[in-house]
Amino acid sequence: ALLELDAVSKTFSQRHGGRAVQAVAGVSLAVGKGETLGLVGESGCGKSTLARLALKLVDVTDGRVRFDGVDVTGFASRRMLPIRRRLQAVFQDPLASLNARMTIAEVMREPFDTHGVKLGAELETRIRELLSFVGLENIGIRKLPGQFSGGQLQRIAIARALALEPEIIVADEPTSALDPSIQAQIVNLMLQIQRKRGISYLIISHDLDVIGHVADRIAVMYLGIIIEQGTADAIMQRPLHPYTQALLSAAPTLAARRQVGWKRIMLTGDPPNPADVPSGCRFHPRCHLARDICREKVPPLRATPGTGQMVACHLAPDETAQAGAEVGRAR
Ligand code: SF4
Ligand code: MG
């Protein structure tokens, strides 16, 4: 594994009126070389915190973070510097993540300066190469970010992330702030970059369609924990956790919506609140299958024989597999 999170947790003490909130509660994930791991979940499930833990922008409360086999959990910024070169980030809002008062040329030279890479007269050529690599030939590099569209800015943010030839990019909602027509372009650009450069991605999104399109493997997060994980094919075609099934059935294709027999698995109950985690299975107040054991006992994330999936549900796969296959077929 290139990037490995081993039972990481993050507790914030100040949130929600002084009550401690465990945003991430013992998550283990690994991203292999050249692989795309998609992390999906609703807003507030802790996925952005997980991205920041993976990027070492915040410290874990518990657990370990490893990069290419090296335990970087306790690394301060200076020791992280050589690793940051290999581990880059792309965020949701490109205008907010780029300094509005810096020209595109300045934005693009920043990573080289930070890492002491001196290109001299070559710098502008290198910047133009990077920008044309992301489909921005001949743009005015003396302009300010405010003079570009959201899609162009996300391309610039990706070009900057690629400047030092990283081995992995952690992308937190890289398309959510963009128009739907532009979203597909950015997703396809990221896939194209992966084919050309062989880099790894940890892509985080609330949008299972985006994740299903790009990921080799998918992890589903709910209230700070991973509730299901598997190959993209398995998750999209036969999800076993009732929550994953609800996420998938909430966004059917048009053809599926017309198809007789398509039934939406509804989420009932209150939206999840990390300051008030339910007993037993965290999903039980919203689960249409919930019974006594679900309120009493935490279901461990465990492998389900023959499916290659990991799922945290007392009733999976016996009582959930059929609904999962139906939801998968309806897409
Ligand atoms: Fe639903 Fe129970 Fe499974 Fe949780 S453990 S997802 S409440 S059936
Ligand atoms: Mg977020």
Residues with CB under 5 A from ligand 2 (ion): 48
Same domain, 44 and 103: yes
Supply the residue whose CA is at minimum distance from atom 7 of ligand 1.
284
Asked if residue 227 is part of any domain, the answer here is no
85 plus 134 within the same structural domain:
yes
Which range marks the domain in which residue 60 is found?
3-215
Q: Is residue 149 part of a domain?
A: yes
Per-residue burial over 287-318, b if 16 or more Cβ lie within 10 Å, else e, is bebbeeebeeeebebeebeebebbbbbbbbbe
> Are both 318 and 267 inside the same structural domain?
yes
Residue 257: pLDDT above 60?
Answer: no
What is the helix, strand, coil percentage profile of the chain, to 5? 35, 20, 45
In a domain? residue 225: no
Task: Say yes or no: 200 and 251 in one domain.
Answer: no
Please tell me the distance from the alpha carbon of residue 152 to that of residue 309, in angstroms, as a whole number. Answer: 38
- Name the residue among 251, 222, 243 with its Cα closest to residue 288: 243
Q: How many domains does the chain have?
A: 2
The residues with which 201 forms a beta bridge, in sequence order, are: 36, 169
Report the C-alpha gap between 250 and 191 in whole angstroms: 25
CA dist., res. 151 & res. 154, Å (int): 5
Based on the fold, state whether residues 241 and 204 are members of the same structural domain. Answer: no
Quote the ligand 2 centre to 215 CA distance (angstroms). 18
Report the amino acid identity of residue 246: A
Is residue 227 in contact with ligand 1, taking CB distance under 6 Å?
no
Rounded average pLDDT over 190-210: 93
Within-domain flag for 228:
no
- 141 and 283 both lie in a single domain: no
Query: What angle, rounded to 10 degrees, do the helices at 150-162 and 180-197 form?
Result: 20
Mutate which of 227, 277, 283, 298 for ligand 1? The one with the most ligand atoms within 8 Å of its CB, which is: 283
- pLDDT range class, residue 259, cuts 50, 70, 90: low
CA distances from 199 to 184, 194, 240, 245 (A): 19, 5, 30, 30
- The set of long-range contacts for 105-111, using a CB threshold of 8 Å and a minimum separation of 24, is 105/141, 105/142, 107/145, 107/156, 107/160, 108/141, 108/156, 108/159, 108/160, 108/163, 110/160, 111/160, 111/163, 111/164
**Ligand 1 test: best mutation among 288, 289, 304, most atoms within 8 Å of CB?**
289
* Residue 242 DSSP one-character state: H
Sign of the torsion formed by the C-alpha atoms of 303, 31, 284 and 331: negative
229 is a domain residue:
no
pLDDT at 260: 44
| Same domain, residue pair 54 and 132 | yes
Do 161 and 280 belong to one domain? no
Please state the ipTM of this predicted complex.
Answer: 0.96
Average pLDDT on 248-254 reads 66
pLDDT per position as a tens digit, 115-127: 999 999 999 999 9
Cβ–Cβ under 8 Å, residues 265 and 247: no
Kind plus residue range of the DSSP H or E element containing 4: strand 3-12
Same domain, 79 and 122: yes
Let me know whether 52 and 185 are in one domain: yes
Q: What is the pLDDT of residue 197?
A: 93
Residue of 267, 310, 315 best suited for mutating to test ligand 1, as the one with most atoms within 8 Å of CB = 315
Same domain, 201 and 285: no
What average pLDDT score do residues 219-224 get? Answer: 97
Task: Look at residues 89, 55, 91 and name the one whose alpha carbon lies nearest to residue 75.
Answer: 55
Of 184, 215, 246, the domain-final residue: 215
pLDDT tens column, 11-43 = 998 755 667 899 999 999 999 999 999 999 988
- Crossing angle between the packed helical segments 150-162 and 123-133, to the nearest 10 degrees: 120
Cis check: omega of the bond before 317, within 30 degrees of 0: yes
- The answer to whether the Cα torsion of 74, 11, 69, 38 is positive or negative is negative
Sign of the Cα pseudo-torsion (51, 54, 55, 56, in order): positive
Please report the DSSP string for 279-291 in residue order: SSSTTGGG-TT--
Q: pLDDT tens for residues 94-140? A: 888 888 999 999 999 999 999 999 999 999 999 999 999 999 998 99
* CATH code assigned at 98: 3.40.50.300
In a domain, 66, yes or no: yes
Rounded Cα–Cα distance for residues 271 and 41 (Å): 12
* Final residue belonging to a domain, choices 158, 181, 215: 215
Mean pLDDT of the chain: 91
Would you say residue 303 lies in a domain?
yes
Q: Domain end: 151, 183, 215, which one?
A: 215
| Ligand 1 atom closest to residue 314's alpha carbon, by position in its atom list | 5
Number of neighbours of residue 59 by Cβ within 10 angstroms:
13
Q: Is residue 231 part of a domain?
A: no
Indicate whether 207 and 262 sit together in one domain. Answer: no
Which three-class secondary structure string do you get for 30-46?
A: EECCCCEEEEECCCCCC
